Amino acid sequence: MAEARFCVRHPTTESNLACGRCGESVCPRCMVHAPVGVRCPDCAQVKPIPTFDVSTSFLLRGLGAGIGIAAVGGIITSFVYIFLFNTGLGLSIVNVVTAGAVAGVGLLVGEGISLAVNRKRGRRLKLVAGFSMFTAITVITVSSGATFNPLILLASGLSFYIAVSKF
């Protein structure tokens, strides 16, 4: 009869699994599936994929680019809305053009952040994009009040989705 083996990291957990490199006992909670078999966490040396390894400097670069693009895009969109509103064009044309501009800001924010962080991805960059779009929509709302229109409000949601889905 074989002697019971226990996980090195969880001494109360019995396990028949062993690391393929060093031979230590590992339980299902701490085993790592490697291309060459089961490994312990020490031998597996798990590192994030470089695309998802976003350092603080990249986050700050993305935040700076996102807020900068969002603020400028929000101001330009507000000027477009106010200019078109004062020209006497039909309100529906003004709203459609402004809604397109708001969605365009989302596209520019997403692309700008992506370029600033060297096309990296990750959950924290989604938050940066969302915060940047919140900045853009706030600028548009405060400076022109355009987002009180249902169509432009819908375009605001679309712009959030466009910016965040990039990551």
Looking at the fold, whether 15 and 92 belong to one and the same domain comes out as no
Looking at the fold, whether 31 and 77 belong to one and the same domain comes out as no
79-129: per-residue pLDDT in tens? 999 998 888 788 889 999 999 999 999 999 999 999 999 999 999 999 999
Looking at the fold, whether 83 and 109 belong to one and the same domain comes out as yes
* pLDDT given for residue 52 in this prediction: 85
Looking at the fold, whether 76 and 138 belong to one and the same domain comes out as yes
Domain-terminating residue out of 31, 46, 61? 46
Looking at the fold, whether 38 and 114 belong to one and the same domain comes out as no
Helix ranges (DSSP H) in 87-145:
91-116, 123-144
Percent of all residues in the chain with a pLDDT value above 90, rounded to a whole number: 63
* pLDDT given for residue 112 in this prediction: 97
Give the chain's mean pLDDT.
91
The parent domain of residue 63 ranges over 50-164
* pLDDT given for residue 86 in this prediction: 87
Q: What are phi and psi of 34, to 5 degrees?
A: -105, 165
* pLDDT given for residue 2 in this prediction: 66
Task: Give the total number of structural domains in the chain.
Answer: 2
Looking at the fold, whether 1 and 68 belong to one and the same domain comes out as no
Looking at the fold, whether 39 and 73 belong to one and the same domain comes out as no
* pLDDT given for residue 27 in this prediction: 92
153-167: per-residue pLDDT in tens? 999 999 999 999 999
Looking at the fold, whether 76 and 147 belong to one and the same domain comes out as yes
Looking at the fold, whether 127 and 158 belong to one and the same domain comes out as yes
6-63: per-residue pLDDT in tens? 898 999 999 888 998 999 999 999 898 888 889 998 898 877 788 888 899 999 999 9
User: What are the angstrom distances between the C-alpha of 116 and each of 75, 112, 162, 164?
Assistant: 21, 6, 17, 15
